[in-house]
């Protein structure tokens, strides 16, 4: 039986999962077979913004910076 992390019980693990989901959505958007990447880019943005609510730039600089770069990349992609 799979174990699911609950945001309030394991917020850092939950945020890392959200970041990974954003990366997965971006990968799907970049797949040649994806007719319209926008829904996947939008989903990625939702996930990465959720992760950034948990990642503290002072205590989790690596995770925060990585997620912030992904968010900035997604913003650029969505603005075109």
Would the CA dihedral through 62, 9, 42, 35 be positive or negative?
A: positive
Among 5, 4, 18, 3, residue whose Cα is nearest residue 53: 18
Q: d(Cα 70, Cα 62) in Å, to the nearest integer?
A: 12
pLDDT exceeds cutoff 90 at 44 = yes
For the stretch 9-31, pLDDT in tens is 899 999 999 999 999 999 999 99
Per domain, the residue ranges of the chain are 11-78
State the pLDDT confidence band at 80, using cuts at 50, 70 and 90.
confident
What mean pLDDT do residues 50-77 have?
97
């Amino acid at each position: 039986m799979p174990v699911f992390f609950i945001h309030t019980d394991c917020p850092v693990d939950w945020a890392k999962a959200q970041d990974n989901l954003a990366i997965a959505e971006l990968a799907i958007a970049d797949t040649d077979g994806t007719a319209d990447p926008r829904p996947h880019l939008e989903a990625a943005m939702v996930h990465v913004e959720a992760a950034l609510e948990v990642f503290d730039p002072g205590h989790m600089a690596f995770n925060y910076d990585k997620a912030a770069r992904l968010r900035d990349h997604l913003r650029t992609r969505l603005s075109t």
